Structure 1
Amino acid sequence: MTVAVGDAVPSAVLMKMTEAGPAPVTTEALFGGRTVALFSVPGAFTPTCSAKHLPGYITHAGEIKARGIDEIVCISVNDVFVMGAWGKNADVGDNVTMLADGNGDFVKALGLTMDGSKFGMGLRGQRFSMLVKDGKVVELNVEEPGAFKVSSAEHLLEQLK
């Protein structure tokens, strides 16, 4: 079953690259008592993700955070080393937190997986964005296969007006 507006975010452990190395981040710590803009991409360093999706959130980070968002998070079914390298390559700085859902456990629990096998990518997360307030989904924007519109930073900004 796919997560819906009003649902609690499922419990999962994601991974973040830090100066000291990989570190676990629980969804309880990430979302509890906070307002978070989360977006999911099918893969780090992939064309749309690198050219449009992540850059939009970096560009609009100040505006998004000024509208009451505590943190902007990018997740992907990639390992923590790839997500750390992608964040450095894209110069995300403090604008976007890059989290790895290495085994796809979080996107599976959300019901938002996709099969990228025909591209040699295996199980991945769908392209989506969501706003989470104190652990509850308040907005959910899931893209149609191959599309990039409703999960964009610009669309999310419109929802924050």
Structure 2
Amino acid sequence: MRAVRPRRRKLDPGWYAKSAAAHQKRQRKQAEERAARRTPPAGDVTIISADGTIRVEPALVGRHLRAVVKERPPISAKLRHDVLGRDGYSCRYCGYDGPVLEIEHVVPIAKGGATNLSNLVAACGPCNRKKGTAVWKPNPLPRRRRRASPLRS
């Protein structure tokens, strides 16, 4: 008969072998060095406010700058689903009804377009790339036929 194997000891979460911990430390240090090489030295920036006061502050760089720059929020899953359902899961420009469609702004955000249902359409990749920041008029939606009401007797 086979001998019973001893249970392996449980390790604390976050525990690493000495070599793994040293490896992580080296990785972290190398990443910081790479980031330091990528980040250009920044000088001072002169800020003139609306009331005419002038002040000089150090320029923001790297992660500090990214924290200030406002990024556009992504299109919500509900809005994406509503747009695809409205457009019948097909491209509004060419009619392609393949599995991969993109949600596209009719009036691009770069030209002041909003992210709302009336400014979004479903588009295939080639149409979306070809359009770029131009304003195209999408094909009209097909008219929905009313269901015939059941005959009453």
For normalisation by structure 2, the TM-score amounts to 0.23
Which structure has more RCO (C-alpha within 8 Å, separation ≥ 6)?
Answer: 1
Greater Rg by CA = 2
Instruction: Please report the TM-score for the alignment, with normalisation by the length of structure 1.
Output: 0.22
Name the structure where strand makes up a greater proportion of residues: 1
